Chains A and B, each alone.
Chain A
Amino acid sequence: MLRKSNKLSLMIASLSLAGGILLSACGGPAASTPVPAATTGTGAATQPAATTETSGGGGTFSGDTIKIGIDLPVSGGDATIGLPTRNGMELAIRQANEKGGVTVAGKTYKLEMYFLDDVPPGGTSHDPAQSSKNADSFIADEAVLVVLGPFNSSNAQAMMPKLNTAGLCQLSPSNTNETLTKPEYGKTADYRPTGKVTYFRTAATDDIQGPASADYAYNELKLTKAYVLDDTETYGKGIADNFAKRFEELGGTVLGHDGVPKGTTDFSSIMTKVAAAGPDVVFYGGTSSNNIPLARKAMKASGLDVPLMGGDGIQDAEFLNVAGEDAVGSYSTVAAVNVETLDEAKQFIADYKAAGFKEELGAYSGPGFEVANIAIDAMNRASAPTREAVCEALRNTKDYKGVLGTTSFDENGDTTNKVISFYKADKDASGKLAWVFVDQIRFGEE
């Protein structure tokens, strides 16, 4: 009985499938029309404020709220780093709205956050497939004029081709993988099908931060024997590889290079091994959320009392909070002029504390705040409330002064801000643990 019914339903299924293929063949050309024009009908429905006007073509939308799409990982293991980043963005949007919103071509719009998590529930970390879906959601909503995020380079790899095809610009606060933007690595054709630059970022790429740390360790701190660790993620491994390469070029010795998978909490055996090798500096590429503070504690417990160096991924309160007293003697970098001295940065830190977020300020709260503000600034400069105009304005971002210093975008969408500042974990004047500014170097060809 069952078999018969299954057969029948199969027949029906396959027959109707044949019809469907025909249908989709007809629908094909329609589906590939440029998306901004195509989605005029869909977004307006979710936009209660949208007017009744139906003929707004060419990707302009007719509401009085502009949405900013945000894609970040905020659940599972990535919540640690995603939530403080989102708070930074939320703060920027809130502040802009308090000032009345943005003014595009003479009309004032309120801003709204369209936030989508890229960790599907039940997953353990950021999922590129989810980011791909989120990108489609942003594209479909015509009120979304710009996208912030993603946090992870692998998610960017999934989002970039989609957003690029749709002509929707995105700004990442944290992606550092150099292959995303720089044509010399030969991947940009995959990410930019249209050839236009629609992806911008404020973080210095791994091929700048890593070598800068190597320069500083070898030339300034006179350290010659390094042990390199990374958290096996794109950022951590990228920065660690670049550090090791440069450190050896300078004449230093890399005693060993090891990946420590994220989720590791017991660093005793790793640090015993590192201590036995006898380094005078440990470089650890990765983020605080991947337990580097615990590694610092384990270093001390293993009797390994040498500096720990890292990138901007450990320049946060979490590192100091968790490592506590043991943090003293660690170094980190930030790809910007000394932010502590900037009034904008001080103001931001105060505002963040006043805003009442549950999570403490993280390493990427500032960059999150910054990319949101750059996007808002671009909207204010845009000639029309369209994605294209916002992109154009973003490409023309020049000397934007914010919490990261002065930002301009080069022809690849990378920040021209190539000053690397060095910080040391130490007691500040009031006796509190802090990242104290020690030095800065300008890095790059020029």
Chain B
Amino acid sequence: MQRAENPSQARGGGGLFPQARKASRNSMIAAAVISVFLLLLPVPQMLSEAGIVRLPIRFDQAFINAAADTACFTLLALGLNIVVGYAGLLDLGYAAFFAIGTYTYAILASSFFDLHVPFWIMLFVSGLVTALFGVAFGAPTLRLRGDYLAIVTLGFGEIVPIFILNLDQLTAGTNGISGVDKPAIGPVIIGANNDNISFYYLGLALIVLIVFFINRLRDSRLGRAWMAIREDELAAATMGINTTTTKLWAFGLGAALSGFAGTFYGAHLGFASPQQFNFSQSVLILCMVILGGMGNLWGVMLGAAVIYLLQTVVLIQLPTWLGNLGKSTNLDFLISFNENVRLTDYTFFIYGIILVLFMLFRPEGLIASRRRKLELHPESEKISDQERQDLYDVRETNQTDTDVRGSQP
């Protein structure tokens, strides 16, 4: 299971602590800057809608719409991170829980059955329902190892949308459930009149709560047990950790987060359809976790934002942007390129290239988890820091593959 980490990362020099302290100060500043940025993000749009300013650049509801959904996918990525990043269980069917969460909300809070349970209650109901599904599904399958578990979760991820599609009485089948309720605070309805800004803030608030919760959880007894299992299940069991219960907690809590996210998603879109929760969605969330940096909260959140915005804003709008750029700068080659090459036909290609290049250049993710990095050294029990350093030096000077990869389990 283990792989050596990227040499350049290990070469930071010195012991762990000075580096960590420095990084923590940096990360504090970064976090402050980012939170201020996130909070002010919709302000230009508000001002422009109020007619106070004219914006020099395009900054519209579509972007805030994507930003609000980014919040939803951040929640999903955080949830999957518990399963994959902390407990080390590869889950290829996470979208199934997302689907269950969204549909729980859509069924209980829409005109479909004319049930209108308030959003705030449904957040917890959906969380509970998905957690129960997570535990029920996990109980018989969690004794599977590694990729066998992955394929079983993949199977679960395929089965759930089929049930949603075929249980017409309960889920409206292929037509989907429309007219899903928006959340309300007293008489004020969040997101009335197409307003995405309040949804964006709602999403931010949810993220802050969840991050706080996960942060505490990670350092708790349970969180430490997860990481112990991820590193060595046998050793963890020997230390007295009940591996089954611990894994079930990971599955249940991870699933619960997708319940929150699903509720938010259903409310924001106002619609639930069975086509939204297929394998590609599971894979998308997994990409966010891995590309961001498995096991690192900030990395995972950054990964979610980067991938989701890349997918739904940048790549979708790219052809239009290029065309506009060509026109405003009068660059003939841009205009003719845009007319002759229909860039919309190549979005998958571009997306694929970005994923591959990204992995080639930053295989450990945008922000790698420091702890995980330390934990994931090969044969770390035997090799000291200095020795490992030497190994990397050898590898760097001698480019042939002196493979120091760990033995296969």
Contact = CB atoms under 8 A, between A and B. Distances in A.
A42 to B, nearest CB: 6
Interface in B143-182: 162, 165-166, 173-176, 178-179
Contacts of B165: 232, 259, 261
B35 A12 contact: yes
B316 A139 contact: no
B74 interface: no
Contact of A12 (B31, B178, B273, B283): B31
Contact of B192 (A32, A125, A158): A32
Contacts of B174: 154, 232-234, 237
B275 A31 contact: no
Contacts of B64: 136
A350 interface: no
Contact of A129 (B28, B58, B69, B319): B69
A30 B50 contact: yes
B49 A33 contact: yes
Contacts of B65: 132-133, 136
A128 B195 contact: no
A27 interface: yes
B54 interface: yes
Nearest to A4: B24
A117 B350 CA distance: 15
A43 B58 CA distance: 7
A68 B118 CA distance: 39
Interface string A183-215: 000110111000000000000000000000000
Given A10-B212, A137-B317, A139-B194, A190 B179 contact: yes
B311 A162 contact: no
A38 B51 contact: yes
Contacts of A116: 316-317, 320
Nearest to A27: B46
A64 to B, nearest CB: 13
A127 B66 CA distance: 13
Given A31-B195, A136-B61, A157-B178, A127 B328 contact: no
Interface residues of A, dominant DSSP: helix
Interface stretch (A14-22, A96-104, A319-327, A363-371): A14-22
Contacts, number: 261
A6 B247 CA distance: 25
A127 B192 contact: no
B351 to A, nearest CB: 4
A121 B316 CA distance: 8
Interface string B107-146: 0000100000000000000000000000000000000000
Contacts of B27: 5, 9
Given A128-B176, A139-B61, 18 more contacts: A3-B215, A10-B208, A12-B35, A17-B39, A17-B208, A20-B39, A27-B49, A31-B46, A42-B59, A45-B57, A48-B328, A117-B344, A117-B347, A122-B283, A139-B60, A140-B58, A140-B61, A157-B271
Interface of A: 1-10, 12-14, 16-17, 19-21, 23-24, 27-28, 30-33, 35, 38-46, 48, 54, 74-76, 79, 83, 114-117, 120-130, 132-137, 139-141, 153-154, 157-158, 161-162, 165-166, 177, 179, 186-187, 189-191, 232-234, 237-238, 259, 261
20 contacts: A17-B39, A28-B188, A38-B51, A48-B324, A117-B316, A121-B311, A121-B347, A122-B287, A123-B280, A123-B311, A128-B273, A129-B69, A129-B269, A129-B312, A133-B312, A135-B62, A136-B65, A136-B196, A157-B273, A187-B179
